[in-house]
Amino acid sequence: MAPFLAYEDKGAKLSTPLPLVLIHGHPFDHTMWNPQVTAFSPTRRVIAPDLRGYGASPVVPGVTPLSTFAEDIAALLDELHVERFVLGGLSMGGQIVMECYARFPDRIRGLILADTFASPETPAGKKSRNEMADRLLAEGMRGYADEVLHKMVAPYADASVAAHVHGMMTATPPMGAAAALRGRAERPDYRELLTRVRVPSLVVVGEDDEYTPVSDAKSMAEALPDATLHVIPRAAHMPNLERPGEFNEALASFLGRADGSA
């Protein structure tokens, strides 16, 4: 049985508007969605879990493929009696969203794909992820966090945002992060899946994102049958934290569309 996930669940537990489920990226936790939980929970239910191996959820060593993360999300939503919802994720979280759509599309009424990409892992990427997993197990998270902080958030980001992101990274258990990296090294190709998505989709990306550049977002938006692309200026890999006002404005507009199509 999948480990029961820690999660935040705020807002009225009503059938309308649709609940919003937000999946964090690597190596973070559910608090990366604080601006969105604060903005949207007054008007709808917002659920933000900690993935297994992250935050307050159980740490399971070894290999955690995206399929296992998706199964955990389904089990959590079953436990919470949430049948239909809008599902969003950033980076690895976006890939988990795609895996969820592959597994239980009838439950999902809208997709939010933020700073992510759909292509499969390359041989070089597979080698790099496994080597990084080994490094995190040997050294812990701090050295990695120091190195990548200003790719996660732009160098010009607010200091409090950078501190929050660095804190999430250093608090992540190395065994959980390593298991996720090894799982992502086996990432499948979601590009064909995108062409079969039958719900509205929002593709969001920071203009200065080096990990998942604007070109990746454009490719996903072009593949999706009903997609809106929103590029957020002066933001890197985490525009929901770096530019929450702009991100939330795009999300609010999209949620109105998703509610209307339910």
Task: Please give the single-letter amino acid code of residue 61.
Answer: P
Q: What is the model's pLDDT at position 13?
A: 84
Q: Where are the beta strands (DSSP E) in 60-195?
A: 85-90, 108-114
Domains observed in the chain:
7-261 (3.40.50.1820)
- List average pLDDT for each run of 10 residues in the chain, which is 262 residues long: 82 87 98 98 97 95 96 96 97 98 97 97 96 97 97 96 98 97 96 98 98 97 98 98 98 92 66
Please state, in angstroms and as integers, the Cα–Cα distance from residue 39 to each residue in 45, 87, 125, following that order: 11, 16, 36
Q: Which residues contact 138 (CB under 8 A, 6 or more apart)?
A: none
Q: What is the model's pLDDT at position 119?
A: 96
**Does residue 219 contact residue 212 with C-beta atoms inside 8 Å?**
no
Q: What is the model's pLDDT at position 262?
A: 61
SS3 7: strand
Please state, in angstroms and as integers, the Cα–Cα distance from residue 207 to each residue in 63, 88, 186, 211, following that order: 32, 19, 28, 11
The pTM for the full model equals 0.96
